Amino acid sequence: MSDSPLISKLDLGHLLQQGRERANMTAQEVVQALGFSASKISRIENGHTAPNATDLERLLDLYGVDEKDRPAIRELATAARRQDSRPRYASKLPPWFNRFRKLERAASSIMHFSGALIAGPLQTDKVALELFRANPEHTEEDVQSFLKARAARRSRLLEPGAPDAWFIFGEAAVRQEVGSIETRREQLDYLVKVSTQRNVTLQMIPFTAGAHRSLGFDFQILRIGDEYIVYTENLRNAAFVDSDEDKKAHLATFDSLKAVASSPKETRAFLERLRDSLA
């Protein structure tokens, strides 16, 4: 069993969805039988929340779950209802990002595409500071909390047991003039160095590649166990893609981007040339 309540929620939701499907019931039929809202069923099955003990028993009864299988499910639900420990800076982060942060930390692999921005775990402190301060809604206290979260994500890639991380980015991401020349050189130098990590792959889509399948659409895919979680952000919120069909579409898109992008070796050489061109 996972030590993380968040992962326990995901595992529990998956088990309950399997139970519903084995009972040949739709989510709407569960809504009608138990008087739950459709959103409640969706949030439970997608691992956003854990049912209380009473609701769990009602679901298990409805699905006809064998009595011998119930103790393990109850134990998982208890773990899922625990409060997750979190660093101090987490209180300053939006709830949707706190959820993503925990999932990212639990992931065994990360696939990230961004057309015009260097991915968070690859940003240096100076670049991250420029980006956070560019938003007038952020107080200085917010900025310092965001920097700590960004540094924790960056260090995760270098820790023992770090996830396999594959980052694809557009040329605009490294051409954008964020901060001073020194700041930009340091950022490019860090990208060159991190690209030599065995668990990290960097690929850049050059301007000359023209149109591609995800132009204008950034996304991330996390793998936790056998499950894939697709995450997208907008200016003030984020979304987790739930349907299997949409997850498959994002996985296929990421594979297509690998083919469009420069190879990891070509990407590193480009980053080195760009870094060295900054006097």
Angle at 31 between CA 49 and CA 56, to 5 degrees: 45
CA–CA dist 237, 246 (Å, integer): 19
pLDDT at 87: 66
Residue 21 shares a structural domain with residue 133: no
Contacts of residue 167, defined as CB under 8 A and 6 or more positions apart, other chains included, come to: 112, 113, 114, 119, 122, 200, 201, 202, 203
Burial class (CB in 10 A: 0-12, 13-18, 19+), 249: middle
| Domain's final residue, options 26, 50, 80 | 80
What does the block give as tokens for 158?
Answer: 């270098």
* Number of Cβ within a 10 Å radius of residue 63: 18
Residue entry with tokens 């130098």: 189
Indicate whether 59 and 23 sit together in one domain: yes
E strand or H helix at 224, and its extent? Answer: strand 219-224
d(C-alpha 163, C-alpha 111), whole Å: 10
pLDDT of residue 192: 97
Q: What is the predicted pLDDT for the residue at 80? A: 85
User: What ranges make up the beta strands (E) of 50-199?
Assistant: 109-114, 164-170
Q: Are residues 265 and 129 in the same domain?
A: yes
One domain for residues 59 and 166: no
Instruction: Tell me, yes or no, whether 200 and 246 share the same domain.
Output: yes
Q: How far is CA 114 from CA 42, 117, 180, in A?
A: 29, 6, 22
pLDDT in tens, the chain (279 residues): 445 676 788 788 889 999 999 999 999 999 999 999 988 998 898 787 889 999 999 999 999 999 999 999 999 899 888 865 556 666 667 788 888 888 998 899 999 999 999 999 999 999 999 999 999 988 888 888 889 899 999 999 998 889 999 999 999 999 999 999 999 999 999 999 999 999 999 999 999 999 999 999 999 999 998 889 999 988 888 898 878 899 999 999 999 999 999 999 999 999 999 999 997
User: What's the pLDDT at 243?
Assistant: 86
The enclosing domain of 40 has a CATH number of 1.10.260.40
pLDDT for residue 208: 96
The number of distinct structural domains making up the chain is 2
Q: Are residues 45 and 165 in the same domain?
A: no
Instruction: Check whether residue 245 and residue 107 sit in a common domain.
Output: yes
Pairing type for strands 164-170 and 109-114 reads parallel
The residue count for the chain: 279
Q: Which domain holds residue 234?
A: 89-277
Say if CB 205 and CB 170 are below 8 A apart.
Answer: yes
Give the Cβ contact number of residue 21 at 10 Å: 11
CB 165 within 8 A of CB 194: no
